[in-house]
Amino acid sequence: MKKIMGLLLLFGFGVGFGQQTIFQNRNSYNTLYGTSSMNKEVNQPKEAKGSQYFQENFMYAFVDDLEKPFKMRYNAFFDEMEFEKDGVTYDLDKGQYNLVNFDDLKKKYVIVDYQDGNDVKRGFLIELTSGEKVSLYKREKIGFVEGKKSASGFGIDTTAEYKPLKDEFFLGTPEGAIILIPSSKNKFLQLFKEKNKEIEKFLKDNKINLSKEKDLKKVADYINTL
């Protein structure tokens, strides 16, 4: 895909009820490709507490190897990278780009296909470490809890709320697969049949907790030395 560079310029678009492609001229040097975010707002509760974002402000980020940064933010509820133009919010086209790097936040989001249950999903993961043998990724998630009316009419109603969920960690293999890291050490070791003895010893000696980010970084760095 031919890379595009320069400042954000919106053109040739129409805003509709559902998502529609906004940008048509693929040869422009001044375009960031995206789709309208309007459909996300239609069915959202008006009085939900919390936020769909860990960082609500738009921050400068570099997209792929484009020369200039764009103001963006990550929507952890919809798993979309958003940017804004003339007061309208758009979702970055996941099919056009590979990464979004926030220097100030020290977060590098990669757009990849990864295993999500029995399905393969394309979305944004934070790259924690990258190596020749394995890479480590994290997915930030925010969930939604429905509000409830008191059944008796005398109790307290609860308001709908967006709540941060537990981070998920993924492992990238040399074959290109990206899989959810199992919490069980035995299942984790089964991923490395040739080196599982060495890795098992490392886990034990370093009292590794497979649910902790800093421990997983240690493991990934160690595996890349084997």
Run of H or E including 101: strand 99-102
Residue 217 domain flag: yes
Give the CA angle between residues 169, 170, 173 to the nearest 5°. 155
Residue 209 domain flag: yes
Count of domains forming the chain: 1
Q: What is the largest CA-CA distance in the chain?
A: 64
Average pLDDT taken over every residue of the chain:
83
| Number of Cβ within a 10 Å radius of residue 74 | 25
Amino acid 155: pLDDT: 59
- % pLDDT > 90, the chain: 61
Is pLDDT of 131 > 60?
yes
Contacts of residue 44, defined as CB under 8 A and 6 or more positions apart, other chains included, come to none
Range name among 33-37, 44-48, 153-157, 215-219 with the lowest pLDDT average? 153-157
Run of H or E including 218: helix 213-223
Is pLDDT of 203 > 80?
yes
Residue 220 domain flag: yes
pTM (two decimals)? 0.81
Residue 210 domain flag: yes
Residue 34 domain flag: no
Residue 166 domain flag: no
Amino acid 4: pLDDT: 35
Give the CA angle between residues 168, 78, 137 to the nearest 5°. 25
Tell me the residue range of the domain where 225 lies: 183-226
Amino acid 45: pLDDT: 65
pLDDT, average across residues 32-58: 78
Give the CA angle between residues 27, 37, 62 to the nearest 5°. 50
166, 157, 140: which is closest to 49 by C-alpha? 157
| pLDDT 10s digits, 94-126 | 999 999 999 999 999 999 999 988 899 999 999
| pLDDT 10s digits, 83-97 | 988 888 899 999 999
